[in-house]
Amino acid sequence: MENIKQYKKVLTIAGSDSGGGAGIQADIKSISATGCYAASAITALTAQNTLGVHGIHPVPVDFLAQQLDAVFTDINFDAVKIGMLHSTEVILTVKKALLKYHAKNIVLDPVMVATSGDPLLQEEAISSLKNELLPLANLITPNLPEASLLLGKPITSQNSLADAAQELAENFKTNILLKAGHFNDATLTDVLYNYNTGNTIFYENTRIDTQNTHGTGCTLSSAIASFLAQENDMTTAIQKAITYLHQALHYGKDYQLGKGHGPVHHFYNCW
């Protein structure tokens, strides 16, 4: 019994994507490919493919709470990734579980709009997300549309990312990784504002010309949670996750899946 091994374990709390490119499916692939064991609690089912979201079926909050109790009482998670939370009731249910079970290394991807432009968060739930859940996270990873919604104003250039990241961090009193992927520049620079140290860190990458970008936010946030679970510091975990996503985009660009935005190649280093 002395040689029993322990996995590094990550719980993803998010919605399911029937097309497999984003949501729970992308989270599990990303966490697995970056070296951790993935468990899940599903907040909603979506009828979804590479062209868009055709329907959302929320999981009853009582059953979501049952999922969370089941996994938290049995498994000691090293990190938690949070994605799609459809309603205020879901947000409050997740908050209760995070506090009850003293969750650590919480990475929250504030999923509000799909790559296709389809809304994934009820309008009335945005204030609940801001007030109830974002301050509990160790890291929030908004893209440009999400950051603009959270700030209440547009972000129009990469030059303004650092100020926007700092403003978000001060608003929610936590670390912010602001992603530049929606810009069309040849070089894209994601910005981390570390709320604890006041430092701003820049992660620069070249743009990859591909339409296979479905689930990039899910993939990145899950990889960050995975690398935090492996006891990397925040700066290193983010750098490793960004490198992983960049490679997954690169190796996935020549594939075609469906008629719209295809997925990244999560397992590029395996096959």
Catalytic residue numbers read: 179, 213, 215-218
Look up tokens 């978000």; give the residue: 168
Adjacent-strand bridge partners of 175: 139
In DSSP terms, 205 is beta-bridged to 188
Hey, what amino acid is at 39? Answer: A
Report the 3 state secondary structure along the chain. Answer: CCCCCCCCEEEEEEEEECCCCCHHHHHHHHHHHCCCEEEEEEEEEEEEECCEEEEEEECCHHHHHHHHHHHHHHCCCCEEEECCCCCHHHHHHHHHHHHHCCCCCEEECCCCECCCCCECCCHHHHHHHHHHHHHHCCEECCCHHHHHHHHCCCCCCHHHHHHHHHHHHHHHCCEEEECCCCCCCCEEEEEEECCCCCCEEEEEEECCCCCCCECHHHHHHHHHHHHHHCCCCHHHHHHHHHHHHHHHHHHHCCCCCCCCCCECCCCCCCC
Residue 115 dihedral angles phi and psi, to the nearest 5°: -55, -35
